[in-house]
Amino acid sequence: MPRERSITDELLYESQLHAARFGGPRPVVPAKHLAIVSCMDSRIDVFDLFGLAIGDAHVIRNAGGIVTDDVLRSLVLSQRVLRTREVVLVYHTDCGLQQIREDEFRAHLLAETGEEPPYAFGAFTDVDDAVRHALARVRGHAFLPHRDHVRGFVYVVETGILREVS
């Protein structure tokens, strides 16, 4: 009996079409010297949102678009090894991190697994405050050589509009 076909198997078929239309290699240094940090949310296509081409910009994404140590690590490598100079942060409306409460979610995991999760999940309520906090973390990180062009935005998933937070 054939193995059940997973979603991943469907993706692999698509990846073969991608390879067939591949436009040729590009340099490892991003052409626009830019790094974008965004939430992992499935409704944000960073390339389409910003009209990017292959090779234009680094794209860093996690739950929330929160500026964790891992995002700072990635930005340091982006700027110091691969010469990017600008940073764009993208949060969004209707974020999954607005659906949970940190203490409740942790208690639920502890009850189910018997262990404390070894990280904070980053639940938040006000998305504009979250962007401002993220901006402050990037601008205050001494290991980043380029901190003059760091801007933060909220993508409105209901309308497709991007608005700046200052």
Residues 80 to 109 in contact with a second copy, rule: CB under 8 A = 80-82, 86, 88, 94, 96-97, 99-100, 105, 109
165 is a contact residue toward a second copy (CB under 8 A):
no
Q: Which of 90, 100, 158, 159 is nearest to 127 (CA)?
A: 90
Distance of alpha carbon 124 from alpha carbon 96, whole angstroms: 9
Q: Which of 5, 103, 111, 118 binds a second copy (CB under 8 A)?
A: 118
Q: Count the site residues for a second copy by CB under 8 A.
A: 85
CA atoms within 13 A on the CB side of 116: 4
Minimal distance, residue 112 CB to a second copy, in Å:
9
130 is a contact residue toward a second copy (CB under 8 A):
no
Minimal distance, residue 136 CB to a second copy, in Å:
17
140 is a contact residue toward a second copy (CB under 8 A):
no
19 is a contact residue toward a second copy (CB under 8 A):
yes
133 is a contact residue toward a second copy (CB under 8 A):
no
Q: Which residues pair with 92 in a beta bridge?
A: 155
Under 8 Å between Cβ of 153 and 90 = yes
Site string for a second copy, 23-52 (x = CB under 8 A): x-xx-x-xxxxxx----xxxxxx-xxxxxx
Minimal distance, residue 129 CB to a second copy, in Å:
19
Distance of alpha carbon 95 from alpha carbon 44, whole angstroms: 11
Distance of alpha carbon 43 from alpha carbon 92, whole angstroms: 10
- CB atoms under 10 Å from CB of 79, counted, come to 21
- Which stretch of DSSP H or E encloses residue 53? none
59 is a contact residue toward a second copy (CB under 8 A):
yes
158 is a contact residue toward a second copy (CB under 8 A):
yes
